[in-house]
A and B are shown apart, each in its own frame.
Chain A
Amino acid sequence: MSVRVLRPGLLTTVQDEGRHGYQRVGLCPGGAMDPVAFALANALVGNDPNEAALEITVIGPELQFEQDTLVAVCGAEFQGSFPHNRPTLARKGSRFNVGRAVRGARAYLAVAGGFGVEPVLGSRATYLPGQFGGFEGRALKHGDVLPLRDAAAAERFSKLKKTRDGTVKWSAPPFTLPDREPILVHVIDGQHYASFDATSQRAFLDTVWSVAPESNRMGFRLSGPPLGRPQADEILSGPTCLGSVQVPPSGVPIALMADHQTTGGYPRIAEIASADVARLAQLAPGGKVHFARCSLEIAGELRKDARERLQSAVRGIAWEYGKK
């Protein structure tokens, strides 16, 4: 009834869609950095969309399955001899040795029935800065044993059509993985865009930014030319959002990611279209991105398109499980 951690990898955490309703006391929603790959991983094992899965980051873990387990890994491609983006039955005692990411940065490992960790404030997501949620509020360590919520859920595998060698042939589409870099990310103007000098405004859009090594689940620091404002007046601290791009006095822009602070006192040059946050989350340190301005309406259209694409893929997978 469990999965044993033989090697934890760089940063492996339990995540779900996050916890909402506490931003007014300073707690961000958190949850999966790439919610698209996360949702697909759950769909691939026949789970509800918000079941807890493992978020694997850049260097993967080695896991041992203590019973037959229906499992899927979705998102970034990692080295290792396990299938990507398709459900598979991991036999009792078998191991997944997940190596380095070769395309993208984050993958989600979902098991049928989900991981048996207690929800905290309505979510199973690990919130590392507060040390709560997920598995003991922390990243996985060597020797951890993650309980499964429903051992019988592996039987779902029998519903799927298989090839002669007993595997599933189809796979989920890698919606959020970069085909090539730099990736293009849409932004709308931030509240303080106009207060940046013309050179900085142009540089923000013309530069191929590189995700700096000191980036994490809270924010991505972007290496490139420093951005400045002619009148470097202090602004009143105010609310921020997932995807806000703020520029501290150092001039180095920071894109706020899943575990971001809920308020900030730095000017915000841009706000990333929510449809593109998941793709940005797939960049590892050194990954390249450039920004294109768009209207709020276009950002809304991109979000709807992305949602429909995901829902259609999830429906297709559910159909394989015989769900309408």
Chain B
Amino acid sequence: MAQPRPLGVIPLGDSAAYVEFSSILDLDVNSVVQRLALAILKRKVPWIRDVVPALGGLALHFDPDHAEFPAKPLEEALALVNESMKPALAAKDNPGSDVVLPVCYEPEFALDLAEIAKKAQVPPEEVATRHAAGEYRVLMMGFAPGHAYMGGLDPKLAVPRRSSPRAVVPAGSVAIANEQTVVYPYAISGGWNVIGRTPMVLFDARRQRPSLLWPGDRIRFRAITRAQFIEMAAAQ
């Protein structure tokens, strides 16, 4: 594929900038964005506090009070992106870790199974099999701490979001919408179709690595029984 180029640098106020590579989701572009974000982080630029890879580009969050904060941060940000492009493209395509998430797909946790099966015209028992067979990538994190948007869902399972969001989705719920899957780290409101639940704690601020998932990680889901779920949840 052709080397992706920044379409532009968009200021997110005067303390951050979004470097856009694509206005639509393109998995090849996202893979470059992931590597680019890591390459920029590695440079430990003192006036950059955060590098956030997103679906179609990355955000650089500045520390505008830092002594080295440049007079023209947007130009500097773009230069930084361009300079980091070479090492980023040289890096292997899979910068993240491999993570296996146990999921119980049993009806107690698969709140939207019947609806998904109907919408996708797939037998209910096949929904879990197809979901667990996939290999996913963390394309972006956001919405809540530890909440990863993962690409790689079987296109057969690509159903739209629920017409009315749930006020509370239980923590650990594994859900799908369009061609992505997510895991809800907390009990929060959300509109994705719930197909199971993991006993794992997605985000714990007391852990040294607070988040179980990180941008660029490769995720697989492993089906577990209700008994295993209860046992693993108790061990958390």
Residues of A bordering B, CB below 8 Å = 20-27, 29, 120-121, 127, 129-130, 132-133, 188, 191, 235-244, 261-264, 271-274, 296, 299-300, 303, 307
Interface centre among B24, B25, B210, B213 (most CB of A within 10 A): B210
Check B142–A241 contact: CB distance below 8 A: no
Pick from A24, A27, A242: contact of B37, CB below 8 A: A24
- At the interface, yes or no: B35 with Cβ under 8 Å from chain A? no
- At the interface, yes or no: B174 with Cβ under 8 Å from chain A? no
B146 / chain A contacts, CB cutoff of 8 Å: 25-27
| Shortest Cβ gap from B33 to chain A (Å) | 11
B11 / chain A contacts, CB cutoff of 8 Å: 188, 271, 296
Complexed CA–CA distance, A229 and B12 (Å): 20
Complexed CA–CA distance, A24 and B214 (Å): 8
Complexed CA–CA distance, A108 and B209 (Å): 31
Check B13–A264 contact: CB distance below 8 A: no
> Chain B interface: which size bin?
35 or more
Check A262–B14 contact: CB distance below 8 A: no
Pick from A20, A121, A191: contact of B50, CB below 8 A: A20
A sample of 12 inter-chain contacts (CB < 8 A) reads A20-B50, A26-B144, A26-B203, A121-B205, A130-B144, A238-B20, A239-B52, A239-B54, A241-B15, A241-B61, A261-B143, A271-B13
- At the interface, yes or no: B43 with Cβ under 8 Å from chain A? no
Check A262–B142 contact: CB distance below 8 A: yes
- At the interface, yes or no: B74 with Cβ under 8 Å from chain A? yes
Complexed CA–CA distance, A150 and B206 (Å): 25
Pick from B12, B65, B186, B210: contact of A241, CB below 8 A: B12
- At the interface, yes or no: B133 with Cβ under 8 Å from chain A? no
Which residue on B lies nearest to A238, using beta carbons? B54
A-contact 0/1 string along B3-20, CB 8 Å cutoff: 000000011111110101
Contacts A261-B142, A307-B65: A23 and B13 contacting too (C-beta < 8 A)? no
Contacts A130-B203, A261-B142, A303-B64: A238 and B13 contacting too (C-beta < 8 A)? no
Contacts A236-B25, A237-B142, A261-B144: A132 and B12 contacting too (C-beta < 8 A)? no
Check A273–B52 contact: CB distance below 8 A: no
A238 / chain B contacts, CB cutoff of 8 Å: 18, 20, 54-57, 59
Complexed CA–CA distance, A240 and B213 (Å): 20
